[in-house]
């Protein structure tokens, strides 16, 4: 006996194949957009934020911090969804140019005061912190009028090596980094060592070193420069830590949680898709 497929059966099979292909195509498009393909039915969606290169101009040379991220959204039936953010910034270019970064902020020649010159500087991974090692030359000069003429005289000076542990934390606004300093080893010539250990000079230098590094990191991890516009005004960070990415390469990771609406999720999907397409 020969069994023949009915017209209805053939139509059903064709319709099934069409729907299967359509679902596969839609899943591919949503994957390109950086969103999990089952957002309409699945309570979670994950967005991969492509790397953004944040340029910093230091002494007429560009230093770049590359930041990328992941936003995982969990659906809430009330329409206000929970988004978890993980942002990772590559600081290897800052490490290579740290001497220039600190020189731009600290180098100083005051004929009747402080002379400061940064000789070398490095940032080393010390999970979850980082260690700054700075070599510098310092001189203190004073001026006096002798026979009607101003004369400058060097009071003290020498070379110094300053080590400082910097632990990342989050500012009260939950959008910016801050650095908690912990002073380590100090080596210096003669009386300069005493000034660095107990005098205002040491405190001034440590503050300036910390502030220069912090300013650079804040620019490179600025949420308005790294995240898609749909979530820039809403994203918040609660935790930060430095990490060793291998071979001494330093990264900083920010983690946070905030709320987004269904409409924001849709806009975020479009914006991530546009970023991927433009790469």
Residue ranges of domains in the chain: 33-279
The pLDDT of residue 39 is: 55
Q: Are the C-beta atoms of residues 131 and 251 closer than 8 Å to each other?
A: no
Rounded percentage of the chain residues whose pLDDT exceeds 90: 67
pLDDT tens sequence across 161-186: 999 999 999 999 999 999 999 989 99
The pLDDT of residue 186 is: 93
Q: Is the peptide bond before 193 cis (omega within 30 degrees of 0)?
A: no
- Give the distance between the most distant pair of CA atoms in the chain: 129
The pLDDT of residue 189 is: 87
Q: Are the C-beta atoms of residues 254 and 70 closer than 8 Å to each other?
A: no
The pLDDT of residue 6 is: 47
* 150 C-beta neighbours (distance < 10 Å), count: 10
Q: Are the C-beta atoms of residues 242 and 220 closer than 8 Å to each other?
A: no
**Residues of the chain below pLDDT 70:** 1-42
Using alpha carbons, list the distances in angstroms from residue 177 to 112, 169, 217.
36, 6, 8
The pLDDT of residue 35 is: 46
Q: Are the C-beta atoms of residues 170 and 240 closer than 8 Å to each other?
A: yes
Closest C-alpha among 94, 118, 85 to residue 219 = 94
């Amino acid at each position: 006996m020969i069994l023949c497929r009915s017209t209805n059966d053939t139509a059903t099979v064709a319709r099934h194949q069409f729907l299967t292909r359509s679902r596969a195509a839609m899943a591919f498009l949503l994957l390109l957009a950086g969103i999990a393909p089952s957002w309409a039915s699945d309570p979670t969606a994950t967005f991969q934020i492509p790397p953004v290169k944040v340029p910093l101009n230091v002494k007429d040379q560009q230093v770049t911090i590359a930041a990328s991220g992941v936003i995982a959204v969990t659906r809430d039936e009330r329409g206000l969804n929970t988004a978890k953010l993980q942002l990772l910034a590559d600081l290897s270019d800052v490490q290579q140019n740290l001497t220039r970064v600190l020189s731009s902020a600290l180098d100083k020649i005051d004929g009747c005061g402080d002379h400061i010159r940064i000789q070398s500087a490095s940032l080393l991974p010390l999970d979850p912190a980082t260690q700054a090692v700075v070599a510098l030359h310092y001189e203190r000069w004073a001026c006096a009028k002798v026979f009607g003429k101003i004369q400058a005289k060097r009071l003290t000076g020498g070379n110094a090596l300053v080590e400082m542990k910097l632990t990342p934390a989050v500012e009260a606004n939950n959008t910016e980094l801050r650095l908690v300093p912990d002073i380590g080893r100090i080596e210096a010539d003669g009386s300069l060592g005493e000034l660095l250990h107990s005098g205002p000079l040491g405190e001034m230098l440590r503050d300036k070193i910390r502030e220069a590094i912090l300013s650079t990191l804040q620019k490179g991890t600025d949420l308005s420069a790294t995240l898609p516009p749909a979530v820039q005004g809403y994203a918040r960070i609660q935790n930060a830590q430095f990490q060793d990415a291998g071979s001494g390469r330093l990264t900083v990771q920010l983690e946070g949680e905030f709320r987004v609406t269904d409409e924001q999720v849709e806009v975020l999907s479009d914006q991530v898709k546009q970023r991927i397409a433009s790469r």
